[in-house]
Structure 1
Amino acid sequence: MKALAPGTVIFHRHRGYGVITHVNLLTGWISARFGSETRTLDLNLKQDEVQYADGEPILFRRTPPDRMPHARLMAMVRELHKAGYEKLYLYSWPKPSGLHWRWHLFTGQRNWMQRPWREGWYGSGADYNNNPVMGWGDSPGASTDELIHALAKFDPQGLAAALGRDEDHTAWFRGVCDVLLPGYMYSLDMARANGSGLQAAPPVPVVAVRAGMPSYAGPAIGWPPGWAGLWTRTHAMPMRRINLTGEPELR
């Protein structure tokens, strides 16, 4: 099946040629603009007989698609670890609503709370539903190898920073992938039970990446190396000090 994303040219039997402006992979609905019309038309991929520009039918698969990219990212990071890029880490955590999970790839020092941010190395499952790409020039549905090559082409300097050894984290990550993939992902979220304080060592949350999948019932997942003790304080990124005087500060 070809890629299906905003910008794809389609053909509709009543409207003719058009361009997709919005895709929802969870429901199978798309929005498209035809000709010089200013408004978009909502179409159902299961019923409206939408085709690609060359006439190939667009068949919405019955199997629920991934609602978040975390499992694909985990598979990519595992392969990069095998290639020697062991200082590559994947942090994932839920939005306050709990409906979607964010993700963040970072390299260099393994500091879970003060992670360096690089453009294109982070995203949200909410954005992924509408535009199923990671953000570094990859295509929807790209394989693990294709994701790696796209990332290396997008930010070779950033990926080079992941070269090095981190054997304990690599072993932990490999074990987690063996247990969870391809249907589940981990979330490094320190949830409070019933509004109480942080627990000493709560179970690592595991979330299904596809709609309709049963709750995870496999073995418990341990926290990554370097996480011990982090649950004893508030998990918030440090804020830069605000200078209201306008005078330069001595450091």
Structure 2
Amino acid sequence: MINRAVIWTLIAFISFAGIALGGYDLSGSEKAESLSTSSSALQGIEASAGALAGAEIPQMTASAAGTEQAFSTTQTPTNTELLTLLPFDVEASQSTQVFFKGSYLGWNGFEVQYPRASPGLWIERSGSWSWYATMPLGSWARELLYVPTASPISIFEIYPSGYVMKHDLGSVPPGYYYIWYYADTPGRHLSLFALSNSASNAVTIDVYSIPHQKVTPTDPKKECEKNSYCHWVNDQCLCTMPDPVDPEKEKC
């Protein structure tokens, strides 16, 4: 359970200054700023404190993939897609489910229940949009935003260290949008977005490192001698191809 105390404890631990590579991958962008250098920006996420709960979020940070893994890719989005709110086609996603009030609902049931005046944020998993997911380091996944009203939009990421990055995304008409999220640092991350007078729920993302796979070198001599017509001579594989089979003799 993530609550108001947790979010403000993280913010209190902010100790870094300047611009760093953010989870939405625009290093040094004029759209990004460190909240450690702009205390007024913190006010924009205060309204989210009561919405940072999710019963499905594990207490412990995941260090490996699990059933909650994000639907991710290692393919980097194009430059025009980075830190850009892109229109989301709800009609094409009717078969997926959306997390709300502790359970997953079909789109029709979700849209009936969801308060239309509240901004919402989810991360894509296979067949669903969730408030929690795991991601391998260096991968990308989509986050879904519901924007209830035209307003300047800022998206925040809270790093495992407590470092907070704020990205200004401009203003868009009401509706559903998605943005690409980049898993750039191992550990537990929180992301949320704020309008001028309200903020979304938080999405929790556990980024894990993929263990290095040790490659056992092959023995060239053994590989060579797997073929009956090959022999290892003077550190070389010498092969004498067998004579072709005579079909007439084969009949006899």
TM-score of the aligned structures, taking structure 2 as reference length: 0.21
Higher strand share: 2
Larger Rg: 2
TM-score of the aligned structures, taking structure 1 as reference length: 0.22
